[in-house]
A and B are shown apart, each in its own frame.
Chain A
Amino acid sequence: MLRTYLLAVRAVFVRDMLHFWRERSRVIGFVASPLLFWLLLGAGFGDMGRFFNGSLLLSVMFTAVFSTMSVIEDRREGFLLSVLSAPAPRCALASGKVLAGSFMSGVQGLFFLPLLIVTGSPMGPGDVAAAAGALVLCGASFTSLGFWLAWKSKTPQGFHAMMNLILMPLWLISGALFDATTALPWIRSVMALNPMTYFLATLQRTIPADPNWAGPALEAGLLWTSVCGIVFLTAAIMDVERRPLGKEGQ
């Protein structure tokens, strides 16, 4: 059974990697916007370090969205039908997707990291390894969330709407743009409950771009990022098992 599961995860993972490689220009277009965002905000505020990790989190989010969006159409007509009708546990589908999303987030983040020199905070090899680990963890949580939301969506347009209504606002109040310390009390409470605050904390505490960061500690970041990832992944797997073709509408 384990072999069946692992081989199915491998099939999904390899397929996503091949797509990633063959659709490089599309991927670059997709993740270039956070970079631009960082350059403009950083230059505008005259502080390149302040928005670095926030932008990095945005790029992880876009990667997760990019890698999970395809499941909406794929499960009706496409590769995912093969996965769903194969004699492998259907959780292999979610696992393979999340693995691919985490890997892509890690790789892209590592391309982003050399830009940190601009902020005057060079990193040693140990820091880079820690950063890679943090990126992969955030990527896994984000992809799990993305997969779960995508599975709930009937159409890619619905997924986009969810991204604009849920993911972007959560990112805005994760501490990526402003500190909790200067925010109104009610926003501060919302920020404390926002999973992305902890995703960002995981990055902020491992990638020393913004020494003035006053958000949660590394332990809280790691703990809540992991817990959220597990919760999102479990929810996604349950949804796939319950509704292999997604929401009714076939």
Chain B
Amino acid sequence: MSAIVEASGLRHAYGNRAALDGLSFSVGEGDIYGILGPNGCGKSTLFRILCTLERPHGGTAVIAGLDAARGGIRLRKEIGVVFQNGSLDQRLTVRENLIAQGHLQSISGSALKARIGELLAEFGLESRAGDEAGTLSGGLRRKVEIAKAIIHRPRILLLDEASTGLDPGARREMWASLNRLRSASPVTILFTTHLMDEAENATRLLMMSRGKAVAEDTPHRLKARVGGDVVEFESDSPGLANDLKERFPVEVSESSGRISAETPAGHRFIAEAFEAFPGRIISASLHRPTLEDVFFKAAGEHLAEPDSGVRSA
């Protein structure tokens, strides 16, 4: 599959804080490419570079064959963007927002009218077309944002933490809309998220930490990297993680009070751990590996660690 987005060695810093630290990845045409990482890991900076709102301080990002640092107007024709905080004008109606977006994308007259009709029908927004965007629910607003972003039928749709603030139902619906869109047109979707369950929607996933890529693969294969079961212990006893490591031949990691261990037979390990360290374990749980486990393993740090040195999105 040919790459439609190719980033190599991207660097960006705010003062002496590195937001992107030599990030490289490649997105194939037609992918749903997820970028997962905690707040402050550099996702939003990457996003701003991809939509040409910021220039990288080093490395290159090539989108549809155009350099993001130089592609400018031509590049922006190829992308549709859904911003984290939204770009709807709250005082304009849904239709007026779409008209404005059409004009910004050089679509006007009857072509624009027809396209707006199409989008309103596709996203079930006909009855709200005359309502001010500020009066819509979060879920509906997102739908309008997506409709706006694809009004010019871009080749790449970029979504920055697009489900932030949405309840689970609205988030599911947003993804249903995106999947419908992708089945109807050959659009490539690149989204950033800090939510593990949302990352499951990706066909390929890049995990980011402190401006670097720490893992990249399909979600399924990423999870297969964590062997067997994952056991999590709750404990207020200092040093338990180290003691577990010394006593048992398992991989143990600890961050912010969460101790987790990978083991082929979790149920047996739990019993042995309770016996070995009586009174030091408050509770234990066992589950199949999730993306969160993969992330902890790959990044070796806790999600949303506040001192990651980068401003949050």
Contact = CB atoms under 8 A, between A and B. Distances in A.
Interface in B64-119: 73-77, 79, 81, 83-89, 91-92, 96, 99-101, 103-106, 108
Looking at chain A's contact residues, the main secondary structure is helix
Interface string A67-103: 0000000001111111111111100000000000000
Contact of B81 (A4, A79, A85): A85
A52 to B, nearest CB: 33
Interface string A217-250: 0000000000000000000000000001100101
Nearest to B53: A244
B210 interface: no
Given A82-B148, A85-B79, A87-B105, A245 B100 contact: no
Nearest to B106: A4
A250 B105 contact: no
A7 B54 contact: no
B100 A15 contact: yes
B222 interface: no
A135 B216 CA distance: 60
Nearest to B148: A82
A118 interface: no
A103 B88 CA distance: 24
Interface residues of B, number: 34
A78 B14 contact: no
Contact of A85 (B53, B84, B103, B108): B53
A18 B100 CA distance: 11
B308 interface: no
A15 B92 CA distance: 8
Nearest to A245: B53
Interface centre among A3, A15, A19 (most CB of B within 10 A): A15
B48, B87, B91: most-surrounded residue (chain A CB, <10 A): B87
A217 B52 CA distance: 47
A79 B100 contact: yes
Nearest to A1: B73
Contacts of B14: 248
A30 to B, nearest CB: 16
Interface string B227-259: 000000000000000000000000000000000
Contacts of B77: 87
Given A77-B83, A79-B88, A250-B48, A88 B104 contact: yes
Nearest to B101: A82
B128 interface: no
Given A85-B79, A87-B73, A244-B53, A10 B89 contact: no
A8 interface: yes
Nearest to B132: A22
A3 B89 contact: no
Contacts of A19: 89, 91
Contacts of B148: 82
Given A8-B103, A85-B79, A77 B87 contact: yes
Nearest to A18: B92
Nearest to A80: B87
A78 B104 contact: no
A80 B148 CA distance: 14
A157 B52 CA distance: 28
A32 interface: no
Contact of B104 (A3, A7, A76, A248): A7
Interface in A3-22: 3-4, 7-8, 10-11, 14-15, 18-19, 22
B104 A83 contact: yes
B76 A85 contact: yes
Contact of A7 (B44, B88, B108): B108
Contacts of A245: 48, 53-54
Contacts of A80: 87
A36 B38 CA distance: 53
A3 B103 CA distance: 10
A18 to B, nearest CB: 6
A102 to B, nearest CB: 20
Interface in B49-64: 51-54
Nearest to B152: A87
B302 interface: no
> Which of A81, A84, A86, A248 gathers the greatest number of chain B CB atoms within 10 Å?
A86
A76 B160 CA distance: 13
Contacts of B51: 85
A245 to B, nearest CB: 6
Q: In the complex, which of the residues B51, B53, B81, B88 has the most CB atoms of chain A within 10 Å of its own CB atom? A: B53
A210 B278 CA distance: 94
B309 to A, nearest CB: 15
Given A15-B92, A82-B87, 19 more contacts: A4-B73, A11-B99, A14-B100, A18-B91, A18-B96, A19-B89, A23-B91, A78-B85, A80-B87, A82-B100, A82-B101, A84-B53, A85-B79, A85-B87, A86-B101, A86-B104, A87-B77, A88-B104, A244-B52
Interface of A: 3-4, 7-8, 10-11, 14-15, 18-19, 22-23, 76-89, 244-245, 248, 250
